[in-house]
Amino acid sequence: MPVPTAFARDQWYVAAYSSEVGSETGGEEILARTVCGEPLALYRTPEGEAVALADRCVHRRYPLSEGALEDGRLVCGYHGFTYDRAGACVSVPGQARVPRTARVASYPLAELDGFVWVWIGDPARADVSAVPRAPWLADPEWTVVRGMEPLNARYGLLVDNLLDLSHETFLHGGYIGTPEVAATPITTEADEERGIVRVSRHMDDAECPPFYADSTGLKGRVSRWQDIEYHAPCLYLLHSRIAPVGSVPGADGSDPDAFHTEIAYAITPSTETTTYDFWLVARDFAREDEGVSGFLHEFNRTVVLQDVTALDILEKVTAEEEGRRVQELSVGIDAGGLAARRVLERMIAGSAKPAAAGVPGGPEAVAAR
């Protein structure tokens, strides 16, 4: 059960933050992103609707993201082929007639919780109600800091990384890691049908790492809970609870002495060996405190960059060793990561191949050529 490199199709993926696409004042930037190997041009119509089109002009394959928006239409920057938001070509240079087949794929898209989700796969199977949610990320009761770091590593390495937090002790010591993270056993639970993996680690008497000590003001040892919910393939949620030692939530769910942090990652495969690493930290404490926001942003970004460095190294090792009979040795801490690999392999095996092998954009795009 090695790290997967194939993409699970017929799935929703985060292509961008909503704020990255167009702008509130009608900005006309076009954002290029490649998701699961499919190049996308993302933009916003004058009415504010986000659109994702296949980022290749039907004419000579020039990236549409290099073009410009005119009255909400995307104009190719090479020869001026012009597309509406559904991907239909509405104008070509030098002639009045537009070929009927001139059309690029338009990707099903949903804006939820501050993310732009796109559907990679058969558009007929896209169901917005299946997008996994993280409502606190766009909830005024929570304060959020966030960023995105591109990774020169296959997405499976980031899944591995996030499902096994024992690495915090070694890779992120002095930031979020303490001896107790590596030492405390985990419980793991996989719902293979729904594609969800849960990993919990409850440390009842632990050192408080600087990330939480400095943001909450808690002194001394703490009760620290990490409850992971991985909605494969893309959304990773870490429910983090820090409280004085001995404090537990009330029977009614109230938990006044605790500090709650909702940490989220969107793990979006770009190419087979590159990944978008979207990260967010939402908190229900010190919500107006800009100092705490700045601190958490800087600190979490540093932690993410420590992962980026390590995973980029691991990608090089993995690429070098590809095709060799090299084995891993798994132990107890790997239960979550291995469960995630199984869930992903099942999704990959179950997802239909693109209609024409290797043609980006799926059936629609193919029909157009």
Footprint of its own copies (CB under 8 A): 56, 58-63, 66-67, 75-80, 92-95, 99, 101-102, 160, 164, 166-167, 169-171, 182-186, 310, 313-314, 317-318, 321, 323-334, 356-360, 368-369
Nearer to its own copies, 61 or 194 (CB): 61
Nearer to its own copies, 256 or 358 (CB): 358
Minimum distance between the CB of residue 140 and its own copies, rounded to whole angstroms? 38
User: If you write DSSP's letter for every residue of 184-238 in order, what string do you get?
Assistant: S--EEEEETTTTEEEEEEEEEEEPPPHHHHHHH---S-EEEEEEEEEETTTEEEE
Nearer to its own copies, 97 or 219 (CB): 97
DSSP 8-state assignment for residue 130: G
Cβ atoms within 10 Å of 358's Cβ, excluding its own: 7
Degrees (nearest 5) of the Cα angle 22, 24, 29? 20
Minimum distance between the CB of residue 252 and its own copies, rounded to whole angstroms? 33
Alpha carbon 179 to its chain centroid, in Å, reads 28
**CB-based burial, 227-251: b 16+ in 10 Å, e otherwise:** ebbbbbbbbbbbbbbbbeeebeeee
Minimum distance between the CB of residue 305 and its own copies, rounded to whole angstroms? 15
- Which residues make Cβ contacts (< 8 Å) with residue 157, sequence separation at least 6? 3, 275, 311, 314, 315, 318
Minimum distance between the CB of residue 26 and its own copies, rounded to whole angstroms? 22
Nearer to its own copies, 79 or 194 (CB): 79
Any bridge partners for residue 149, and if so which?
A: 277
Minimum distance between the CB of residue 299 and its own copies, rounded to whole angstroms? 19
- Nearest CA to 225 out of 207, 243, 212 is that of 243
Nearer to its own copies, 78 or 175 (CB): 78
**Three-state DSSP class for residue 335:** helix
Nearer to its own copies, 23 or 101 (CB): 101
Minimum distance between the CB of residue 365 and its own copies, rounded to whole angstroms? 9
Nearer to its own copies, 254 or 327 (CB): 327
Q: Which two tokens stand for residue 143?
A: 């304060």
CB 306 within 8 A of CB 298: no
The size of the chain, in residues, is 369
Minimum distance between the CB of residue 216 and its own copies, rounded to whole angstroms? 26
Minimum distance between the CB of residue 190 and its own copies, rounded to whole angstroms? 18
Nearer to its own copies, 146 or 224 (CB): 224
CB 124 within 8 A of CB 142: no
